[in-house]
Amino acid sequence: MDTSISVLAELRGAIGADSVMAGDAMEAKHFADWVVKAAEGAGPIAVAYPRSTADVSAILRVCHAHRIPVVPQGGLTGLVGGATPVAGCIALSLSRMRAVEEVDAAAATITVQAGVPLQVVQEAADAAGLLFPLDIGSRGSCVIGGNVSTNAGGNRVLRYGMTRELVLGIEVVLADGTVMTSLNKMLKNNAGYDLKHLFIGSEGTLGVVTRLVLRLFPKPESVCTAFCALPDYAAVLELLRRARGKLGGALSAFEVIWPEFYKLATTEHGVRPPVGAAAGVYVLMDSLGSDQEQDTAIFSALIEAALEDGVVDDAVIAQSYRESREFWSLRDSVAEFQRTFDPHVGFDVSVPIGRMQEFIDDCRAHLVARYAPVRALWFGHIADSNLHICVKQEPDGPTKKEIDQIVYGRVRAFGGSVSAEHGIGLLKKPYLEYSRSPVELDVMRRVKAALDPEGILNPGKVF
């Protein structure tokens, strides 16, 4: 207790008494992230609210000297428990670092503090006539530092890449409080190791991200959307091949929906079926371009040729933005599935694109072998190799852990990844070794030890 009192005093001395909350003054939200609560009595000893990089540095200097764990917290919207506090830690909230520092239209960059909500970054870019393309459902509450620390994905990865690809420059504070400012604005920079990649996607275990330079893009001026019914997965691969060829960089989403999902959405959730008869598999695809008339012509020709050649059995092309949104509402109805499909175990995995159907068949067979009446939904950003799965939990069926072991076991067998876009955090730690070899894990640990030898940064996360 003495230590924590002296730590609190030091922290308050360093960044101001109004920036360090302890005891009953701590807001409950800092005791958990979206999915994992701190164990009873195992919360933070204080929540620190830095206003600047210098404040973050001061917090880490104090905590490093006392070997106090530090858990960085952004919007607390992660899905793997990556921001859940550990006992005796300082929760370092980026919520007061919300400055949009600069939009550089010529370089097409935006410079922001890490605590800026994703939606605010999007709006600042929009106000400058540009696009920040990262977009995920939690845009209003997640913050850009968290997006970078977890290498967030989302709906436009196909066209613009993961968050990693959108970061040009980074500033991080290392475990001992050292500030590494690397706010590069240039697309090409081969001056030594590209250190930003160490910190992107390492879930706050190597440093605390404080500022970022992000890439901006021209705003798309057209959108084309189609909903297609296809006979089978081979046809999906052929449609993807054609779409990549004809639409090139404009192809921005290629979502595949298997029948179980389609049926649930169009029956119990009342979404109007976009196409007529039942099909083997469905594809929802978007392209973003610069000229609605020309782009619609190219997009329609692609779909019509696929219909003529029997690649697609049935298809509708949105005639308006409203109709495009309606097609997407089928995909987005997953957010409502808790009403009809809970409890369920959800998965965010990657599998090589060519083996996706084989994986699904195999995984379904293994689930059925364990529990014959199993119900599961399959859907995902297939062009990115990313499959989402929801397995319904039944009172007489397998436990969450059993379901995890079956699904992650099949992911391992297919050379897939146990985390496509959500990260590892706490929840996926037991399965990290399913996708990473002992040598890879050893190299990760060597890097961790090199940058955080005392292990104070987000301890217990990732590995």
Using a 10 angstrom Cβ sphere, with 0-12 exposed, 13-18 middle and 19 or more buried, the burial of residue 237 is: middle
Q: Which of 3, 267, 294, 399 binds its own copies (CB under 8 A)?
A: 294
Q: In this structure, are residues 113 and 455 in contact, taking their beta carbons and an 8 Å threshold? A: no
Among 64-72, 265-273, 287-295, 318-326, the segment contacting its own copies (CB under 8 A): 287-295
Measured from the CB atom, the residue of 5 and 297 that comes closer to its own copies is 297
Rule CB under 8 A: say whether 353 interacts with its own copies.
yes
Q: Which of 174, 208, 334, 389 binds its own copies (CB under 8 A)?
A: 174
Q: Rounded to an integer, what distance in angstroms lies between the CA atom of residue 357 and that of residue 151?
A: 26
Which residues in 225-254 contact its own copies (CB under 8 A)? 237, 241, 244-250
DSSP states of 207-272: -EEEEEEEE-EEPP-EEEEEEEEESSHHHHHHHHHHHHHHHGGGEEEEEEE-HHHHHHHHTTT-PP
Binding residues for its own copies restricted to 194-223, rule: CB under 8 A = 194-195, 197-198, 200-202, 206, 217-221
Site for its own copies in 31-50 (CB under 8 A): none
Pick the binder of its own copies from 162, 166, 229, 271 (CB under 8 A).
162
Q: Kindly state the smallest distance separating residue 122's Cβ from its own copies, in Å.
A: 18
Q: Which is nearer to its own copies, 165 or 332 (CB)?
A: 165
Nearer to its own copies, 248 or 343 (CB): 248
Hey, CA dihedral for 386, 152, 428, 388, is it positive or negative? negative
Q: Is position 385 an interface residue for its own copies (rule: CB under 8 A)? A: yes
* One-character DSSP codes across 181-195: EE----S---SS--T
Contact between 436 and its own copies (CB under 8 A)?
A: yes
Q: Please report, as a single letter, which amino acid is at residue 455.
A: G
| Structure-token match 């509450």, residue found | 141
Q: Using CB under 8 A, which of 77, 151, 155, 458 touches its own copies?
A: 151
Q: Which CB atom, from 45 or from 174, has the smaller least distance to its own copies? A: 174
The terminus-to-terminus CA distance of the chain in angstroms comes to 29
CB of 145 to its own copies, least distance (A): 16
439 lines the binding site for its own copies (CB under 8 A): yes
Q: Which lies closer to its own copies via its Cβ, residue 95 or residue 386? A: 386
Coil, helix or strand at residue 328: helix
Using CB under 8 A as the binding rule, the residues of this chain from 295 to 324 that contact its own copies are 297-298
Which of 188, 277, 308, 322 is in the footprint of its own copies by CB under 8 A?
A: 188
Biggest alpha carbon distance in the chain?
77
Nearer to its own copies, 95 or 122 (CB): 122
Q: How far is the CB of 158 from its own copies (least distance, A)?
A: 8
CB-based burial label for 94 (10 Å; 0-12, 13-18, 19+): buried
The answer to whether residue 351 forms part of the interface with its own copies (CB under 8 A) is yes
Tokens matching residue 201: 């996607």
Complex with its own copies: residue 116 or 387, whichever CB lies closer: 387
Burial of 75 (0-12, 13-18, 19+ CB in 10 A): buried
The HSE-up count of residue 52 (CA atoms within 13 Å, CB side) is 6
Nearer to its own copies, 87 or 301 (CB): 301
Q: Which lies closer to its own copies via its Cβ, residue 42 or residue 447?
A: 447
| Choice between 31 and 233, CB closer to its own copies | 233
Does residue 192 interact with its own copies by CB under 8 A? yes
For residue 22, what are the β-bridge partners?
46
Closest CA to 175 of 56, 2, 261: 56
By the rule CB under 8 A, 189 interacts with its own copies: yes
Residue number, 90 or 432, with CB nearest to its own copies: 432
- Judged by CB under 8 A, the chain residues 70 through 109 that form the site for its own copies are 104-108
CB of 323 to its own copies, least distance (A): 23
Between CA 376 and CA 285 the distance in angstroms is 23
Size of interface with its own copies, in residues (CB under 8 A): 97
Touching its own copies, residues 392-431 (CB under 8 A): 415-424, 428
Judged by beta carbon, residue 176 or residue 323, the one nearer its own copies is 176
* Residues 6 or more apart whose Cβ sits within 8 Å of residue 319: none
Whether the Cβ atoms of residue 61 and residue 40 lie closer than 8 Å to each other: no
Site for its own copies in 106-145 (CB under 8 A): 106-108
Kindly state whether residue 182 participates in binding its own copies, applying the rule CB under 8 A.
yes
CB 306 within 8 A of CB 242: yes
Q: Which of 39, 186, 278, 413 binds its own copies (CB under 8 A)?
A: 186
Give residue 10's identity as a one-letter amino acid code.
Answer: E
Closest approach of its own copies to the CB of residue 242, in Å: 9
Find, among 77, 182, 162, 166, the residue nearest to 125 by Cα: 166
Which residue in the set 4, 119, 184, 329 belongs to the binding site for its own copies (CB under 8 A)?
184
Locate 28 and state its tokens. Answer: 């409950």
